[in-house]
Amino acid sequence: MTKLSVNINKIATLRNSRGGDVPNLLKVAADIEHFGGQGITIHPRPDERHIKYQDARDLVAVVKTEFNIEGNPIKSFIDLVLETKPTQVTLVPDSIHAITSNAGWDTVKHQSFLKEVIQEFKQNGIRTSIFIDTDFKLIEAAAETGADRIELYTEEFASQFHLGNKEAIKPYTEAAVLANKLGLGINAGHDLNLENINFFKQNIPNLAEVSIGHALIAESLYLGLENVINMYLHRLK
C-alpha cells in the first residue's frame, strides 16, 4: 500500500491568520495520525508565512509515524533538518517568494551541490528525496546524487486529468519504471486529490508515498478530516 503523508502547511496558514494558536498545529498532526494518516509533511519557508521553524522542532515529539520536511536546502533549512532529524527530507528548488513549488530540480546542473547536501543528510540517518520532473536525464542524474527517492512533481498530470486527458499519466509511468530500474524509491505530490489519486496510484509501479495537503484540507472543509483521510487510504490500497 502507498503511504499517505499529510501536508499540514494549510493548517499553519489558518492558525497564523489570527496570530494565535487555533487551530493547534500539534493537535491536528496527532489527530491526522489517529485518523490513519501514515506521515506528516511540512514545508517551512524562510519567511515562515505558514510553517514556522519552531513548528518543526515541536513536531518531533508529536509525530509517531513518518516525519517529512520539504524545502530548498539553504543553510537555515539544512541546519533545521540536521537539528530535528526527520524520517525524510525532500529537497525542493523553490524560490524564496514562490507561492507554491512550481518546478523540479535540474539534477544535471546542480549535481555536485545535491551530492554534497544529500551525503550530509544520509550521514545523519535521514532518508533523502528529490522533487523532480519526469525527464529521463534528470532522473538518471538524480540516481547519481545518492538520493534514496525521487518525488514526482504531478501538477501537469493533475491539470490534464481534470480536463479528461488520461494519457497525461504516461510520462509518469515511464519515469517510475526508470526510477525502479535505477533503485530509486518513488514518492509523488502536487495537486493530487480524491478525484485523481486512485488513477495515479494504479498507473505508478511501486509508488511508496504521496504527500497531499492543499486538496486534502480543502476537501475536509466539506467532508471532514477523518473521513477524507480514510477516503484517501481506501483509494491508495
The one-letter code for the residue type at 170 is: K
Instruction: Say if residue 205 is preceded by a cis peptide, omega within 30 of 0.
Output: no
Query: Could you tell me how far CA 56 lies from the centroid of its own chain?
Result: 15
Query: Could you tell me how far CA 201 lies from the centroid of its own chain?
Result: 15
Dist. CA 173–CA 169, nearest whole Å: 6
Q: Is 190 annotated as catalytic? A: yes
Dist. CA 192–CA 59, nearest whole Å: 24
Residues 29, 21, 214, 132, CA torsion sign: negative
Catalytic residue among 33, 190, 209, 219: 190
Q: Is 70 annotated as catalytic? A: yes
Run of H or E including 90? strand 88-91
Query: Could you tell me how far CA 147 lies from the centroid of its own chain?
Result: 15
SS3 state of residue 159: helix
DSSP 8-state symbol, 128: E
CA-based Rg of the chain, rounded to a whole angstrom?
17
Query: Could you tell me how far CA 95 lies from the centroid of its own chain?
Result: 17
Catalytic residue among 70, 151, 209, 219: 70
Catalytic residue among 43, 66, 151, 209: 43
Closest to 5 measured CA to CA, from 85, 90, 82, 120: 90
SS3 state of residue 40: strand
Residues with catalytic roles: 43, 70, 190
